[in-house]
Structure formats: structure tokens, C-alpha cells
Amino acid sequence: MIMALISSILKQAKSLSSSNLSTNYLQRSVYLIPRVGGYRYMSSDARKENIVIVGAGIAGLASAVSLQRFGIRSLVLEQAESLRTEGSSITLSKNGWKALDAIGVGDQLRDKFLEIQGIEFKLDDGRVLNSFGFKDEDKSQELRVVERRVLLETLASKLPPDAISFSSKLSKIEQCENASNTLLQLQDGTRLSAEVVIACDGVWSPMATWMGFRQPKYAGHIAFRGLGYFPEGQPYEPKVHYTYGRGLRAGFVPASKTKVYWFVIRNSSSPGPRITDPSILRQEAKELISDWPVADMLNLINLTADDTLTKNPLYDRWLWPLISPPPFCGKTVLLGDAWHPMTPNIGQGACCALEDSIVLTEKLVDAMKSKHISVEDAFKAYGSERWSRVFPLTVMANRVGALLQSENKLICSVRNILMSKLKPRTMTRHANYEFEQSKRDRR
């Protein structure tokens, strides 16, 4: 029943993406956002920039690097004093690596992280449900766990020293009537007049709020994550070790020769208070799985550096057609989590953000170098192509999470049967994404 429901939702989402509803959704007239503070930003002290990217996360930096490969400079605004490298790791599948290859950093990162060969599913009593190799049915698949810090630093290293402006937090945003530029004011009083704004400012994006998007919705789960460190070398084979219980799941996977990524996800009726104390996070994560036969995981949690320990409620936003605004307003456009935050249950959040950056920048460059395509038309094309991709994946990730986190005994039994029959191709098919440019090149 659960899988039938999931299938029904996804079929509806895909049919909408190929119907006139999708076109209508993306071709709604762009409305003018209510103004803030009149039009005084058009004064001569507003510094002019061609392209401003808001947010120096994965999506923002990848977009800046992607633009640079076409010889186009951008300015990246980051509200923090330095790169936000806290946190542990992200999972990148074949589609994520295609995007990294497109901007010229794939091989540099491959040298630092292990390729994951397969996965093993267990129950909380230690019984093995299933195991297989990711390449068993498709040799082209590629999966690696990449440290967030290393990914961000690698992307940033490809940009000129002055490309990222730190301590640059937005305080006001305004799109002017009868003017093509977007006006940005920073908290320090700096004023920018940008021809194009690419908003990559994360799940709680002020830019998305400014454009009329509703706030992301809490999914009912909280994730503990960390990175265990073995200075003399970690002892595990390169595969995902996954354990399921009722309302609780956990797993670990080697990231490199010395580091192992782990996670524990539990149900919670509310996000709860924000806790950052590493000792509290470490203890809470260990207590959740203390009754499971997972001595390896308990050891990993003990070996985790404080700065990689995190506890995050999981959120997403479903981009319903005819209800959600388009991802652009004038010459301002949303990208990655700012537009389509999704839960990590199928490992596609970062991959889709990287896909976004490639698709958007290629269409934007076409518009900037052509007199026949406007920037607004490029944004419409980007929104149309990406919506039909990210909406079904957001729904899938949410529903998969609901199934895996169920506390119902009957549903857990059905889940266990389904997991025991799971095939590699089913698990990896969402990674088989081709960029439109690649399709055209093949023709």
C-alpha cells in the first residue's frame, strides 16, 4: 500500500511536469515584490555588479566556478566571516560527479575520497536483509562520500581571491520599477546594483521568502551526523552499512582512508531546541542506538571530532504546480536548497544543487552572449527543465523517509520485505541524469 501510494504520487508529479500545467506554472507573470525603503538605492553610491551570487555554499561556489569557465566573473556574498565548513560529509552519486567534472574539479576530489562499492542492509537485531554492489547492474554508477569542508575549499580555490566577499549579510532586497537591476543592501551599508542575482542562500533563504515562497516544512525526523577519525587508517571496506529499527535508523560509510561518515536518524514530533554542545550531541546519538548490536558505530561516535558533530531537523518544500511561485523574479533566480530543499533519504540534495548550477549557468551564458534570448527567458527555461527533475525527487525523498522511519509494526514488516528484494538499479536510477547540453552533443 505504501509503495503504491509513493508510485501514484510520483506518476502524478511526472505527468504534471510534462503537461500544460508545468508550462502554466512557470509562465505565470512575474509579480513585483513589495518595495522596501522606496527607490533610493538607485543613487550613484550603489556599486554596479554584473552577477551577484548570494551564499558561498556548494551551490553558490559551484555556480561561480561554472560561470568562470565561460570567462564570466561573479561576486559571491557570504554572510559568515569565512567558508562555512562545519559539518561532516555529503553523498555524491554519478550525477553529482558529472556536474563536478563539468566545472573541472571532479578528478581533484576523486583522488581524496574512496569509491563506495556497495551496500548492506541490516535489522536492529543484526539480521542481514540484503546486500549488493552498486555496479552490479550498471557499471557507470559512482558513489563517494565527500567531506563538506574539502568540497567547499576545492571550489573556492578555483576562484580569484576577491571573488568571495565574506561578512556580507543582506539586509534589504529590492527590484526597481522600470529598471533592470536588483538592488541589494548589506548590513554594513554597502549597496550593490546587480544585473543578475543568483540566490543560493540555503534552506531558510531570505531571497525565497522575498519571492513569495512558503517556509520549508518539517519532515518529522532529526539527523545526527559526524565523521569518525582514524589517524592510523580506518578498518572498513568501502560500502554503506545501514541498520533499520522502528522509528530509528543508522549507518556508516568510509569516506577516505582515515575518515568514516556516520548518521543516526530518529523520529521527533517537533524540531526541538537547537543544541550545538558536542558532548551532548555525542551522548544523545549513542543513547539512541545503545541497545543495537552496532559496536562499530558507538566507536565511530567516540572517535568523532567535535567540529563535525551536528544535529539537524530535516525539512523540505514541495513545489506544487500552480501554487508555488516560479524560481525567478525579474533577473533574480533561486538555486539549490534555496528553491527546493529536500530530505537526504535518497542522497540527492547536493547532487541536485550541483545539477542546478550547471543548467542555470549554461542557459545564462547563452542569454548573455546572444541577442536572441533574454535573461528572463533563460530563467524560464531553467525553471522548466529543473522543476520536472526536482519536484519528483523531493516527493520521493520525503515518502522514502516516511517509510523507513515508520514506527508501525506492520509497515516495518512490509518495509523489510521490500528492502530484502531491492535491486541496485532501483536504488541508483535517480542518478542517471543527463544535462540537456550532453543530449544535444550526442545528437
206-247: per-residue pLDDT in tens? 999 999 999 999 999 999 999 999 999 999 999 999 999 999
Say which residue, 372 or 127, is predicted with more confidence.
127
Q: What pLDDT is recorded for position 11?
A: 53
Say which residue, 59 or 12, is predicted with more confidence.
59
CA dist., res. 16 & res. 391, Å (int): 10
Between 40-54, 112-126, 231-245, 246-260, the lowest mean confidence (pLDDT) is in 40-54
Between 42-51, 290-299, 382-391, the lowest mean confidence (pLDDT) is in 42-51
Mean pLDDT over 122-127 rounds to 96
Mean pLDDT over 74-79 rounds to 98
Give 35-49 pLDDT, tens digit per residue: 333 334 344 588 999
Mean pLDDT over 286-313 rounds to 96
Mutual angle of helices 2-17 and 409-420, in 10-degree steps: 70
Cell numbers at 12, concatenated: 502524478
Confirm if 405 and 221 have CB atoms less than 8 A apart: yes
138: enclosing H helix or E strand: none
Give 391-415 pLDDT, tens digit per residue: 999 999 999 999 999 999 999 999 9
Q: What pLDDT is recorded for position 177?
A: 59
CA atoms within 13 A on the CB side of 281: 25
Between 19-23, 87-91, 105-109, 234-238, the lowest mean confidence (pLDDT) is in 19-23
Q: Of 355, 415, 410, whose CA–CA distance to 385 is shortest? A: 355
Rg (CA), the chain: 22
Mean pLDDT over 369-382 rounds to 92
DSSP per position, 248-274 = EEEEEEE-SSSEEEEEEEEE-SS----
SS3 state at 71: coil
Cα separations in angstroms, 144 against 261, 271, 289, 428: 11, 29, 25, 13
Q: Quick one: what percent of the chain has pLDDT higher than 70?
A: 88
Mean pLDDT over 245-272 rounds to 97
> What pTM was computed for the model?
0.90
CA dist., res. 310 & res. 304, Å (int): 11
Confirm if 350 and 92 have CB atoms less than 8 A apart: yes
Mean pLDDT over 49-58 rounds to 97
Cell numbers at 84, concatenated: 562555512
Q: What pLDDT is recorded for position 86?
A: 87
CA dist., res. 396 & res. 388, Å (int): 13
Confidence of residue 2 (pLDDT cuts 50, 70, 90): very low
Q: What pLDDT is recorded for position 437?
A: 60
The answer, yes or no, to whether residue 30 has pLDDT greater than 80, is no
- Compute the C-alpha angle 437/344/398, nearest 5°: 95
Q: Of 73, 77, 69, 66, whose CA–CA distance to 50 is shortest? A: 73
Confirm if 127 and 37 have CB atoms less than 8 A apart: no
442, with CB counted inside 10 A (0-12, 13-18, 19+), is exposed
Q: Of 173, 202, 195, whose CA–CA distance to 75 is shortest? A: 195
Give 146-191 pLDDT, tens digit per residue: 999 999 999 999 999 999 999 999 999 987 655 678 999 999 999 9
- Alpha helix (H) ranges present in 307-442? 349-369, 375-404, 409-420, 424-428, 436-442
Helices H, strands E: what count in the chain? 14, 17
Q: What pLDDT is recorded for position 372?
A: 84
